[in-house]
Homo-oligomer: A and B are copies of this chain.
Amino acid sequence: MSLVKSVGKQKVNLDFNKDFINLFGDKIKLNDVAFINRTIADLHPADVANLIENLDVDKRNKLIEIEAFNIEPEIFVELNESLQSEVLVLLTNDSIAKILRKLESDNALQILEKLEENKKKIVLDKLSPQDRFLLEEGLSYPEDSAARIMQREFTAVPSDWTVGQTIDYLRENKELPEEFLEIFVVDNEFKPIGTVPSSRVLRTARESKMNSIMREIPVLISVNMDKEEVGHTFESYNLVSAGVVNKDNKLIGMITGDDVVTVVQEEAEEDVLRLAGVGDEEITDGVFKKTKRRFSWLLLNLFTAIIASIVIGFFQEDIEKVVALAVLMPIVASMGGNAGMQTLAVTIRAIAKKEISSGNFFKIVTKEFIIGVLNGLIFAIIAGVVVQFWFEETNLSILIAVAMILNMIVAGLFGILVPVSLKKFNIDPALASSVFVTTITDVIGFLSFLGIGSYFFLN
């Protein structure tokens, strides 16, 4: 009990100590439901989720069995996605339906997305016709669209209402969402024409018209807009909430900033993980899931490594004659790979932030070319000097210098051309670029170093 107190509701991001996690685990084993429920009730849902994520798999499953009948929706939505899927398998359809009923539509959708078709239908059938309709409609939109993170609950008033009318309406209508940041002002056709922050309504005299205090809407978010684009829009225009419209520009929902924080973070993290070739891996995933997720990337990499080896294979005779070639050849390839990844990371970030357009594309590519030449020259000199001291063989020094310049230019150019081209074909550049770029820099690295070495200096 004292331990629970010490991690009470006021504590931020509590880093549960091992002892407490062990204690909680033991109580699960002992089926001490009183202790478990008291702990869960004392903590913020986000902290309970954190605690559950820190449990061993067997204890976690035991806990879910114990809690299944009354796991709080607020806790469930805080679990990481991978765990949500695990928990859903263990819950009865009735429990899932019960959770859905208590959630706002965006959170409910996220859970439904994870169910198999069959189960999805059964669960939907347990909901009220109205809830079911809204959720089914939400599911009909693409997975990464604004529709999946918007809530259908929002507050809108006609533009000719006064502040007083609005306040009375808000006080009397118990069906409106409990909280909202902005009130939407709509025209006769339910098209949004402005927003009034709740605080401004509070600060304005009752007789003022809503349309006299409303703020023009800087952007309308279409229900089909990509989630990543929504995040970008919120960031660009510093929004805290935004209305979502259907194809007729009628207001059908809203997105709030707290959901966008999650999207923005996920998208940016996704880029890190994808560049490194691990899909949506979570630290809580099991060994086999992790191995499977990483397998295809490694297989692809094996394939490209073999291509590089085949290139080296062409020059076996030269290597036998001048074995120093084998010693030095990884340097050029590795430098090219790193320079390519630098350009790639900057480009992928710029693509995500929509900073590359047809207007500046040529300028940016030219820049990368010049950087490639500059870095090539700098590192040609450094590598040349090092090799001169090491092997005391001028031919070899000139060789590595020339190959270095070539590969650095190639690295810069392909570091930008590969992701931009993939984007043109609607392939996520973060997902596929690095394999292409490193294959190219490896092949050019070995080919230029061994090829030039073979033809000009060694024959």
Contact = CB atoms under 8 A, between A and B. Distances in A.
Interface of A: 9-13, 15-18, 21-22, 44, 46, 50, 53-54, 56, 78, 80, 155, 167, 170-171, 176, 178-181, 197-205, 216-221, 225, 229, 231-240, 256-262, 264-265, 268-269, 271-273, 275-278, 281, 283-284, 286-288, 290-291, 294-295, 297-299, 301-302, 304-306, 308-309, 312-313, 316, 319-320, 323-324, 326-331, 333-335, 338-339, 341-342, 344-350, 352, 354-360, 363-364, 367, 370-371, 374-375, 378-379, 382-383, 386, 442
A328 B11 CA distance: 54
How many copies of the polypeptide does the oligomer hold? 2
A362 to B, nearest CB: 10
Contacts of A256: 240
Nearest to A324: B316
B202 A346 contact: no
B375 A295 contact: yes
Nearest to A275: B272
Contacts of A309: 327-328, 330-331
Nearest to A313: B327
A325 B328 CA distance: 14
Contacts of A344: 276
A197 B200 contact: no
Contacts of A237: 44, 46
Contacts of A216: 9
Given A181-B197, A281-B346, 14 more contacts: A171-B204, A197-B198, A235-B261, A235-B262, A260-B261, A268-B271, A275-B345, A276-B341, A277-B338, A284-B355, A291-B374, A302-B335, A305-B335, A312-B330
A35 to B, nearest CB: 18
A22 B360 CA distance: 11
22 contacts: A12-B221, A12-B233, A13-B233, A13-B354, A21-B360, A46-B236, A78-B236, A170-B199, A197-B198, A202-B202, A257-B261, A261-B261, A272-B345, A275-B345, A276-B346, A277-B342, A290-B367, A298-B375, A304-B334, A305-B334, A313-B327, A323-B326
